[in-house]
Structure 1
Amino acid sequence: MMLNSNGMNEIVKILTIISTIFIPLTFITGLYGMNFQNMPELRYKYGYYIVLSVMAALATFMLSCFKRKKWL
């Protein structure tokens, strides 16, 4: 029963890490999906790519933090 519990804890830990990474990305995506007209970065030529690169950098930073703490 203890081995089963340890396996379940590892699964829950991985699911928590995945959700921790995707929650801020979902927030950013939801914010930009609201069709505001007063967002200045929507008028930039490369605004879409800037937001995508910020999201990728955020996910990479969070993954590196998890690896540094030896959670992955």
Structure 2
Amino acid sequence: MSNITLRIVNESGDTIMNSLSEAQLRQEISTLDNEKWIFVDGRMVNRTELANVEVADNATVIVTPKIVAGRV
């Protein structure tokens, strides 16, 4: 049984989803826009590479807005 935690960080606060399977994780991330950075257990992963990354059953995945210097 998977116990993946997904944390989505945005301007209005964080959304945390617990006990996700790998399929549920991929589904949730697929609904987000492309202006996000994805970190799987602290390692930055390209959205297109996520399908090829084996996510551990107890992984923590954090999705943040892309940060660009000088952009507000």
TM over 0.5: no
Question: Rg bigger for which structure?
Answer: 1
- Give the TM-score taking structure 2 as reference length: 0.28
Name the one with the larger helix percent: 1
Name the one with the larger strand percent: 2
- Give the TM-score taking structure 1 as reference length: 0.28
